[in-house]
Amino acid sequence: MPKINVDNIHANFVRQLESWVDGLPEHAKDAPFVTAAAKGGKELSPSQVLVHVRKLTPLGVQLTEQAAALAMSDTFREALPGAATKPPVKPARRSRKSATKPRRRGPQNRGGTVTV
Amino acid sequence: MIVVSTNRSATEKALHRYASRFFAGLPRNGSSLHLKSPRSVSKNFILELRSRTGVPVFFFGHGLNPPAIGFLGDDGKPALDAKNMALLTRRKVAATCCHGDRVGSVARRNRFSVFGYKGLYWVPKSSRHVTDCEAAALAGPSIIAQGGSPAQAALAAEREYRRLAQLLYSRNRVGDRAFASFVAINATTAGAW
């Protein structure tokens, strides 16, 4: 399973946010991105989100903690057996003989219900 | 049931959209009311609370900032504050706003119960994220509407916001990962009082 370096989690998150903000058009960098549903409605632009995370303000710490948890759960899910990294299993091909001749099934195999 | 929403700022418009969808999903038996802009002000809110005793209340909008307790009306003034919290007696309240925990702090004293969010409740600005968040924003209120408890509503909201955060993180379109962290904060602050 891939390992996550906890020491680098903050630096990685800052890098991710920097690349997101850098890739935005100029007007979007300082436009509101999220708001809080409180009187006065505290609004945060992408640049302000980055500042909070960079400076590890209380909100920046909260965001980094959540980003770390999400990264870990994403890595964990990808590492699970049968995750997207594994090629899809092709259904077994039936031989020509068995494809033309109906298979005989016992009474328990006939459909989805069994009566006893 | 009484559904109240305000519609002034962009944040309130997103929450008003959720409120309208929520109200549209309630049974059409004449017992529910959607008090919306411009009528969602203190006078009308109090009038409806007095005439419909004991029914659940669903608020979508801005919470009052501490140390105040309550909800902001469409006129920018408190629609319900500490002085009239007794009007919530024997009701379940779903507070889709900031500082639901402040309302929760007077719930026991006034014999009502609340589902809401502790501290700030984050609402997206982009229409794509507003659409993404709808199911999570309505998960808690829907449980209350079905007769569930605020604690069950908080669990449902937490689960739905958590699921959405993971989905956004994996989807990773522009802004998704940054927004996923705010969504995950909403999951952690959903609570019942």
Residues of chain A neighbouring B63 (CB-CB closer than 8 A) = 37-39
CB B176 within 8 A of CB A16: no
Question: What tens digit of pLDDT does each residue of A68-85 get?
Answer: 999 888 777 777 666 655
- pLDDT of A24 higher than 60: yes
What's the pLDDT at B71? 97
- pLDDT of A112 higher than 80: no
What's the pLDDT at A90? 53
* Local structure of B113: helix, strand or coil: strand
| Side-chain half-sphere exposure of B142, counting CA atoms within 13 A | 16
Closest CA to B60 of B26, B22, B88: B22
Residues within 8 A of A (CB atoms), B 67-126 only: 72, 96-99, 120-126
Residues within 8 A of B (CB atoms), A 77-116 only: none
**In this predicted structure, which of A72-86, B26-40, B67-81, B109-123 has the lowest mean pLDDT?**
A72-86
Residues of chain B neighbouring A84 (CB-CB closer than 8 A) = none
Q: Inspect the interface and report whether the beta carbons of A38 and B175 lie closer than 8 Å.
A: no
Question: What tens digit of pLDDT does each residue of A53-69 get?
Answer: 999 999 999 999 999 99
Q: What per-residue string of b and e applies to B173-190 under the rule 16 or more CB within 10 Å gives b?
A: eebbbbbbbbbbbbbbbb
Query: Which residue range forms the structural domain that includes residue B57?
Result: 2-192
What's the pLDDT at A73? 82
CATH label of the domain that carries residue B171: 3.40.50
Indicate the average pLDDT of chain A: 75
What ipTM describes this predicted complex? 0.89
What's the pLDDT at B94? 98
Query: What percentage of chain A exceeds 90 in pLDDT?
Result: 47
Residue A40 pLDDT level (bands cut at 50, 70, 90): confident
How large is the average pLDDT for residues B103-107? 97
Residues in contact with B30: Cβ distance below 8 Å, sequence separation at least 6, in sequence order: none
- pLDDT of A37 higher than 90: no
* Local structure of B128: helix, strand or coil: helix
What's the pLDDT at A7? 63
Query: What percentage of chain A exceeds 70 in pLDDT?
Result: 59
How large is the average pLDDT for residues B109-115? 97
CB B134 within 8 A of CB B18: yes
Residues of chain A neighbouring B97 (CB-CB closer than 8 A) = 37-38
What's the pLDDT at B31? 84
Question: What tens digit of pLDDT does each residue of B126-180 get?
Answer: 999 999 999 999 999 999 999 999 999 999 999 999 999 999 999 999 999 999 9
- pLDDT of A105 higher than 60: no
The tally of domains found in chain B comes to 1
Question: What tens digit of pLDDT does each residue of B60-96 get?
Answer: 999 999 999 999 999 999 999 999 999 999 999 999 9
pTM score:
0.84
Please calculate the CA angle B117-A46-B136 and round it to the nearest 5 degrees: 30
Residue A2 pLDDT level (bands cut at 50, 70, 90): low
Indicate the average pLDDT of chain B: 96
Burial of B44 (C-beta count, 10 Å sphere; 0-12/13-18/19+): middle
Phi, psi (deg, nearest 5) at residue B141: -55, -35
Q: Where are the alpha helices (DSSP H) in chain B?
A: 10-24, 42-51, 100-104, 127-145, 150-171, 176-189
Q: Inspect the interface and report whether the beta carbons of B174 and A24 lie closer than 8 Å.
A: yes
What's the pLDDT at A42? 85
**In this predicted structure, which of A98-107, B103-112, B138-147 has the lowest mean pLDDT?**
A98-107
